[in-house]
């Protein structure tokens, strides 16, 4: 009875001691060296800003390179259009028509530049009309519909069209082909009234292929800073 109990205990103890000594030997016996890599990653930036715009009136609507005539009907100076980058935010372009009237048409060449350090690709355009509550002279646009295929916003009172550029890749410091913004005042527009619309263009890093919806879902707006 005494032999059986002592045998396993002693053996176990011995084994543990051996393992302990062995591990100690491993810990203290290894000659080693450590190399270190100090890593710093500075990321680039996807950035863009408006760089210029110029507008020309024309008639009749719609614009046709071969048949459209410059200026207003009878060379009059009735309506006028101004466009300029917002002085406080170069990602916002302020576009204003003054004394517009039914059939007044204007075509603006709008330019933007890759002000970041990462190439980007134009992924989509979006146009929306103000359809909120009236506020003084400001009235909502009615029955608006946006066609992403034609890049056209059609409302009873206004038609807004942007030219393409989707898919164009722009290197840092580069500019895409100038885009076009065209606006036409429709007959149902009320007199002495203000209408508002917004146009957004989305660009994304060149190495990610995304559609327009994804681009707009992910991108910050200029108002976000």
Partner 1 sequence: MLKKSLLSSGGIFVMLVLALASLGVTYGLWSETLHIDGTVNTGEVDVGFSGPLVGYGVEVNGVLMTWDYQSDAGADPAIVGNVSDPHGLLVGAVATAPQVKDLSTCTASPSKDPTSVSFPDNVNSVDDGNNLITVTVTNAYPSFHCVIAFDVTNFGTIPVKIHQPEIDLGATPVGLIDTDFGNCYIVDRQLEPGDSSENCTITIHFTNSDVNIFEESQYTFSVLVFAHQWNEEPGQ
Residues 195, 196, 197: CA angle, nearest 5 degrees? 135
Which of residues 63 and 95 has its CB atom nearest to partner 1 in the complex?
95
Which of residues 97 and 154 has its CB atom nearest to partner 1 in the complex?
97
**N-term to C-term CA, the chain:** 85
Which of residues 64 and 208 has its CB atom nearest to partner 1 in the complex?
208
Separation of alpha carbons 35 and 207, rounded Å: 34
The residue ranges of DSSP E strands in 6-79, in sequence order, are 48-59, 69-70
Beta bridge partners of 109: 54, 180
CB of 49 to partner 1, least distance (A): 7
CB of 201 to partner 1, least distance (A): 5
Joined together, the tokens standing for residue 79 give 């309506």
Which of residues 37 and 225 has its CB atom nearest to partner 1 in the complex?
225
CB of 173 to partner 1, least distance (A): 15
* CA-to-CA dists, residue 34 to 26, 28, 29, 31, 40, angstroms: 17, 16, 16, 11, 19
CB of 194 to partner 1, least distance (A): 5
CB of 210 to partner 1, least distance (A): 6
CA dihedral 204, 148, 50, 98 (to 10 degrees): -160
CB of 215 to partner 1, least distance (A): 5
* 44 neighbors 116 (Cβ within 8 angstroms): yes
Q: Which residues of this chain interact with partner 1, rule CB under 8 A?
A: 45-50, 59, 72-74, 76, 78-79, 86, 91-103, 110, 112, 116, 118, 120, 123, 137, 139, 158, 160, 181, 183, 185, 187-205, 208, 210, 214-216, 218-223
- CB count in 10 Å sphere of residue 44: 11
Residue with tokens 């007044």: 104
Which of residues 23 and 169 has its CB atom nearest to partner 1 in the complex?
169
Which of residues 154 and 189 has its CB atom nearest to partner 1 in the complex?
189
């Amino acid at each position: 009875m005494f032999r059986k109990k002592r045998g396993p205990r002693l053996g176990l103890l011995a084994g543990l001691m051996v393992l302990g000594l062995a591990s100690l030997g491993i810990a203290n016996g290894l000659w080693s060296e450590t190399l270190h890599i100090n890593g710093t990653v500075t990321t680039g930036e996807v950035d863009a800003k408006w760089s210029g715009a110029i507008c020309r009136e024309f008639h009749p609507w719609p614009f046709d390179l071969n048949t459209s005539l410059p200026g207003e009907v009878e060379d009059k100076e009735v309506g006028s259009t101004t466009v300029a980058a917002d002085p406080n935010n170069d990602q916002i372009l302020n576009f204003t028509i003054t004394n517009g009237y039914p059939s007044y048409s204007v075509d603006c060449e709008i330019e933007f530049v890759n002000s970041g350090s990462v190439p980007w690709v134009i992924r989509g355009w979006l146009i929306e009309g103000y359809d909120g509550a009236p506020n003084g002279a400001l009235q909502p646009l009615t029955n608006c519909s946006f066609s992403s295929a034609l890049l056209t916003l059609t409302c009873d009172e206004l038609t807004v069209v942007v030219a393409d550029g989707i898919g164009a890749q722009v290197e840092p410091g580069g500019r895409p082909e100038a885009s076009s913004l065209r606006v036409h005042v429709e007959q149902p527009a009320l007199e002495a009234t203000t209408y508002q619309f917004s146009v957004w263009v989305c660009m994304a890093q060149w190495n990610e292929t995304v559609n327009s919806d994804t681009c707009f879902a992910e991108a910050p707006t200029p108002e976000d800073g």
